Structure 1
Amino acid sequence: MTDNVSAARRWRQQWGYVGRRGVVVLFDGEVQSWVNKLRNPENWQPGCVAVDENGKIWTTVAGTASTGALMWLPNEPIPD
């Protein structure tokens, strides 16, 4: 997953998205897009990874490539 964080950071720097918050979405290690808010998992296929500016990561799970994912699941435990 650190490769995804590095790729997202490089993409932000290259395209001027540092400081704009939001998340960079990747699939198979390739940047697909930037979105200002993590939402609409049904627009992404399962296995997409979203990385925010702090390096927090979410992954789309369940669903299919044609119907989209069911939800974004955080890769780290949610604090109490």
Structure 2
Amino acid sequence: MVTESLRMLPSADELHYQASRLRADADLMEGYAQQLLATASELSACPTAPEWSRPTLELQAAACSTAAKQLRTAAEALLAHSRA
């Protein structure tokens, strides 16, 4: 006989809390993207900086921005689920 354990579904308050955490993480990722872009900009004025450094930092900044968008999308999905 197979038994299934019933998981307690998270409450709307828990989903709202998790959504707020995701949004906070998204804000952090956006901040990291801005820092990376600022560093890349500073390196462009530095003649001894390796050629690859600026494009690499810009790619990392783009990845941080993408992650931020995904985190915000996940937060919105949780909120929509909590309303359902």
TMscore range, shorter length: under 0.3
Give the TM-score normalised by the residue count of structure 2.
0.26
Q: Larger relative CO (CA 8 A, sep 6+): 1 or 2?
A: 2
Give the TM-score normalised by the residue count of structure 1.
0.27
